[in-house]
Structure 1
């Protein structure tokens, strides 16, 4: 039986907004069903805990928004009320945490917004905004804080905010009753590295940070009891001799924790890295073509056997069969969609 996939895109660059598609479980092939452009620039998507509601950012300036869609009919998402302004510019990422929706707002001074959620999944008002502080050495990209991702840790207690502008990850605790997000501690990474996104190892004790301004993954040890993140090592995601600019965008960890895949924008590749048995070091095995131009997002299917790359500039989603022994992705097909930015399995 075919499942459903939801695809975000940049309407400002000719994208169709939110597209619903089916996925063939045997081949991984995507077939677009229809789209809605009711929300501008729904560039990143996530699901409610029960999978009945889809949430999107609206990545716009000077103020962005978030929106909720009912998946009562999974083939035709239905907007639940008007998009809600998040009191921050260009939200690039969002997640559900302790009954709230969190958005990472990249533009201006960088912040994380906390929105309430109704029993039906609809968005309520912004309850609080946590303003980031600081800057970095790259005065073009790090002149101010730029929150790029916010997500809960595997324990569900903490929310981690990844800030490209300040070279840091903030570990935050949410007062669910008051809706206030408070910083417990801030981890500083190497100056000028530009952290973008973060993913946890299945063991729950390690996290990997992909950095946009230097093509490396930072391996960290995570202590959920203390809310402590400690950097251990860095691994490059480009082969020796690679030339030209490169801006890594997304990192995915295999279900068994043996491999990490990274999307390279510029090099237009997927880096394949092996993970040692204790999760504390990575090795670059190879890079393979992403099948298009500017892979903004990378995701695994629910079975963990296929990778999907959203190639923003070439306007296509390419899928790959993954060799379970080597981690090597082999291109298996593609779907043309303009200005794609995110792929989410329902």
Structure 2
């Protein structure tokens, strides 16, 4: 039996998993039931075995949940999630300093290690559990272009390329995106694309659908903008085409974009921005994006954004909640549905 339990009528009940910062009062990994009609969440249980599990990823069958431990002595852990309380499958495995993101790729878990500016690969055993140690580390090179970050690499995200054997690494410190591959379990760089100096790329999302990932939207934390790139698969690299602001006019005060997602039909993209605490709706038009509107994020300091089955979920770190929004399919505009308490929330992932 997979992650999801069965409802009284026999239907499969979906689950959501919420990561948090235990160092800021978070409860570790929370497990929540997902209402199939409204998208509403109900907390069922959780686990606090791993400190600061700020980013999560699920195995394809939904039985194993992977979590980074965003600490200077960074680690990645694997939980079995067949009940309401996730159970560790073994001791966490050491990675780089301050891992902020992870993904599954080619039989490995990859982590983006912000503090050490590196990408670490940890092999997976046939049952989906972690090997005892990492198989290789890629240390980024370069320096920051703007005054807002120290002059060193800061890997922030790793993401597999769709239908491809490569993955992309986003580095906020070097203002670049690297196209990488695994060679005998060791991450290596194939191509690197420099973005506008000082933009501070943080996360990216591929354009789905008929374009087959031919466009990539890179969210810049220090701008705040999205850089539209052409994805020249299978050869690469990314080709930057232009930037679109995620906020109307000049932002007042602090504004730090955090997450970007694209609708499955490829018509809309949404971003979250901390400080201004808004979600931005962007319409996809040809090779570009157009800002449609912004709406309040439902809390304070939206760190991550997730889309599933017509619903947007926002992890509001400083207000300590997860808010969900029903998305109008014609306009792309989110309408607030409700929220649950989740202290120091940092991310939300949902099973299939």
TM range (shorter): over 0.9
Out of 260, 278, 281, the position equivalent to 1:251 is 260
Mapped pair 1:220 → 2:229: yes
Give me the whole-angstrom Cα distance separating, in 2, the residues matched to 1:138 and 1:233: 19
Is 1:4–1:75's contact at 8 Å kept on the other side of the alignment?
no
User: Displacement of 1:42 after TM fit?
Assistant: 0.4
Superposed CA RMSD: 1.1
Q: Deviation string for 1:68-106 (max 9, x for gaps)? A: 0112x14332111011111x1000000010001100000
Give me the whole-angstrom Cα distance separating, in 2, the residues matched to 1:119 and 1:214: 42
Deviates more, 1:132-141 or 1:49-58: 132-141
5+ residue gaps, structure 1, are none
Give me the whole-angstrom Cα distance separating, in 2, the residues matched to 1:225 and 1:137: 29
Mapped pair 1:120 → 2:127: yes
Give me the whole-angstrom Cα distance separating, in 2, the residues matched to 1:48 and 1:300: 18
Out of 149, 157, 174, the position equivalent to 2:182 is 174
Partner of 1:68: 78
Is 1:160–1:172's contact at 8 Å kept on the other side of the alignment?
yes
User: Displacement of 1:241 after TM fit?
Assistant: 4.5
Q: Deviation string for 1:283-336 (max 9, x for gaps)? A: 0000000000000000011x2x11010000000100001000000000010001
Give me the whole-angstrom Cα distance separating, in 1, the residues matched to 2:152 and 2:47: 34
Equivalent residue pairs, number: 336
Q: Deviation string for 1:133-185 (max 9, x for gaps)? A: 1111334514200000011100231110000000000101112xx21111111
Partner of 1:23: 34
Partner of 2:329: 324
Partner of 1:95: 103
User: Displacement of 1:242 after TM fit?
Assistant: 3.3
Partner of 1:137: 145
TM normalised by structure 1 equals: 0.95
TM normalised by structure 2 equals: 0.94
Give me the whole-angstrom Cα distance separating, in 1, the residues matched to 2:289 and 2:41: 32
Out of 5, 11, 18, the position equivalent to 1:7 is 18
Deviates more, 1:129-138 or 1:204-213: 129-138
Give me the whole-angstrom Cα distance separating, in 1, the residues matched to 2:236 and 2:161: 9
Runs of 4+ in 1 over 4 A off after TM superposition: none
